Structure 1
Amino acid sequence: MAPQANLVKAGAEGFDMLDRVFGRPRTTDKHFPRKQAEIITSKKAAEIYGGVLLTDNSNGKANRPGTGFKN
């Protein structure tokens, strides 16, 4: 196994190489969490943006002759 000093040096050189190729990672401010976007429903979106909401209240079955009321 390699001595600890050699492993530390190899790791530092590897991360330095990655920083030169891809750039340093951006730091984020961890003290103030970012505000999450509010999740809205399609009904609320239609109200906010002046749209129209179409709803389907069918039971999923097709209207076929002979499936309705019999006289």
Structure 2
Amino acid sequence: MWQIFPGDLNKTLAWKPEIDLHLERTVGEIGAYVVVSAIDQSRVRVIPAGKSWPVEEVRDVLQEEAERKERL
């Protein structure tokens, strides 16, 4: 079981139960894993269930992503 990064929840809204998903290790992102959809290659960052996201790091990542969207 996995917990999805709060900023990635919207990516999962289009996922249907029959979609093939696979887990990959990652480097340089918040969390050590991503779940990838086989259909569109969308990726969500995850941590094992029961673990806690580091609050300050989550806040920083969400702020950076919001600023990046504003520039687009």
Question: Rg: which structure is higher?
Answer: 1
User: How high is the TM-score relative to the length of structure 1?
Assistant: 0.20
Q: Which has the higher strand share?
A: 2
User: How high is the TM-score relative to the length of structure 2?
Assistant: 0.19
Higher RCO by CA contacts (8 Å cutoff, separation 6 or greater): 2
